[in-house]
Amino acid sequence: MKAKNLSLFILVLILTVAAVFFVYPKAPIGGYISQYLPWRLGLDLVGGSYLVYEIDMSNVSPADQSSVVNGLRDVIEKRVNLFGVAEPRITISRAGDNYRLNVELAGVKDVKEAIKQIGETPFLQFAEVKETGATSTPEFIPTELNGRYVKGAQLTFSQVGLPEVSIEFNADGAKMFEQLTAKNIGKPLAIFLDNNLISAPRVNEAISGGKAQITGINDTKEAQLLVERFNAGALPAPIKLINQQTVSASLGQDSLQKTIKAGIWGTLAVMLFMVLYYHGLGFFAALALFIYVALSLAVFKVFSVTMTLAGIAGFILSIGMAVDANVLIFERTKEEMRKGLQKSNAIDEGFRRAWTSIRDSNLTTILTTVILYNLTSGFVKGFALTLLIGVLVSMFTAISVTRNLLKIFYIKNK
């Protein structure tokens, strides 16, 4: 059993050393990795603007509002990408009966131009496809048929259960679409949203009546995304900028440096307290806490978690919870040793008795973070995500790392 514990500890130790080099940008290996997988920092740490838009739903039916909002978010995300924002944070929130679009522009320099581009209504357009040769890129010929003539789109299913996208045109659009399909039988018809190709279905026959279906879609998720993009460009839902907050790059860097220093000194203070109060047990708790911090930061970087001030606060809070788990374990172990049990048995019994309290408190926190992440937006969501990851990693280190450390190095039979 001791050999198995030692093997697990060596594996965790190797992972910890690798994690330290991985997360530290100035380390030789970490600097090289950061070129391809850098830390993702929020606008409150690198500077930028936080924009809030109100979506005008006055001309959109209640049944189509959700589809339009999701389509708008997709369009705005593509527009923001043009300004060099990698994986921008675009979220939707509700204020009473009103929908709002929250846009985080971290590191964007030309904010005025970004605001101008974001505020434009999405443009949906149909185009003919001109074949230019087997090896050359097809040429698209724009037509007069655009989003003004589209009533909307819906997700439907064929008789055999395959997903389809049903499109409906108004009276003028129905005539234009019939002429366009009659002219392009056997050819693809390109559909663009903000000059981005979203679909190119092949025309099988001339379509009259103002209704059409796009078939041959791989799955329901792809079909729903196409519906949302159609409705974003077809249904009029203009957006209006109602709030703008700007954070300078220098202020963001200052906040980052202060936060890192506070986190380091706070963690060292906790380690010192554990050593002074629990002596030998406290040393192992401090070592387990260091392993926890390294592994947690590696997880944040691997999964490209956007770190904000609120997110760092959630991580620091999880450090306190990791220490709390060790305190419960140590107190239970000391109680068993006072009863006369040998250290090996006392540690097993201490972990067994402490586990129910650790499990229940952490599950409660996990449930809270899941609710916060799904029902909030912006900085609160970042706080919930880092706290959730931190709690999950702390459960691993408290039960596996601390226990193995004690069984390998602390136990000395009388």
The answer to whether residues 304 and 370 belong to one domain is yes
Task: Return the pLDDT at 180.
Answer: 93
Q: What is the CATH number of the domain that holds 191?
A: 3.30.1360.200
pLDDT at 84: 59
In terms of residue numbers, what domain contains 360?
A: 2-41+248-410
pLDDT digits (tens, 9 = 90+) for 182-227: 999 999 999 998 888 899 999 999 999 999 999 988 889 889 988 8
pLDDT digits (tens, 9 = 90+) for 86-110: 556 788 888 777 888 888 887 776 6
Residue 292 belongs to domain with CATH number: 1.20.1640.10
User: Domain check: are 140 and 199 in the same one?
Assistant: yes
Over residues 63-68, the mean pLDDT reads 82
- Plot region of 125 (φ>0 → left; ψ -120 to 50 → alpha; else → beta): beta
Domain end residue (candidates: 195, 213, 246): 246
Average pLDDT for 21-48:
73
* Residue pointed to by tokens 């693809």: 188
For the entire predicted model, the pTM comes to 0.67
pLDDT tens per residue across span 308-326:
888 888 898 888 888 888 8
The tally of domains found in the chain comes to 3
Q: Are residues 197 and 157 in the same domain?
A: yes
Q: Do 262 and 384 belong together in one domain?
A: yes
The predicted model gives 140-157 an average pLDDT of 89
CATH code for the domain in which residue 51 is found: 3.30.70.3400
**Which pLDDT score is estimated for 398?**
77
Determine the average pLDDT of the residues in 257-275. 87
Percent of the chain with pLDDT over 90: 17
Query: How confident is the model at residue 414, as a pLDDT?
Result: 40
pLDDT surpasses 60 at 361 = yes
Least confident of 130-139, 157-166, 375-384: 130-139
Shared domain check, 217 and 258: no
pLDDT at 126 over 90: yes
Query: Do residues 33 and 52 both lie within one domain?
Result: no
pLDDT in the model for residue 413: 42
Q: What band does 368 get if pLDDT is binned at 50, 70 and 90? A: very high
Q: Are 354 and 361 in contact (CB under 8 A)?
A: no
Our CA angle for 127, 80, 218, nearest 5°, is 50
Predicted confidence at residue 167, as pLDDT, reads 93
Same domain, 68 and 21: no
**Higher per-residue pLDDT: 402 or 70:** 70
pLDDT of 304: 81
Domain-ending residue, one of 234, 256, 291: 234
b/e code 219-228 from CB counts within 10 Å (16+ = b) = eeeebbbbbb
Residue range 241-251, pLDDT digits in tens: 888 887 776 76
Mean of pLDDT values over 74-88: 70
Q: Are residues 66 and 146 in the same domain?
A: no
* Residue 289 shares a structural domain with residue 402: yes
Which is nearest to 187 in space by CA: 173, 174, 204, 175?
204
**Co-location of 256 and 399 in the same domain:** yes
The upper half-sphere exposure of residue 357, i.e. CA atoms within 13 Å in the direction of its Cβ, equals 16
Regarding whether 381 and 297 lie in a shared domain, the answer is yes
The mean pLDDT value of the chain amounts to: 82
Same domain, 261 and 396: yes
Q: Is the pLDDT of residue 134 over 70?
A: no
Q: Indicate the residue among 190, 211, 246 that finishes a domain.
A: 246
Average pLDDT for 77-89? 68
Highest mean pLDDT pick, 161-175, 236-250, 277-291, 304-318 = 161-175
Q: What is the mean pLDDT of residues 118-126?
A: 82
Q: What is the pLDDT of residues 377-414, one digit of tens each?
A: 667 888 899 999 999 998 888 777 877 777 777 655 44
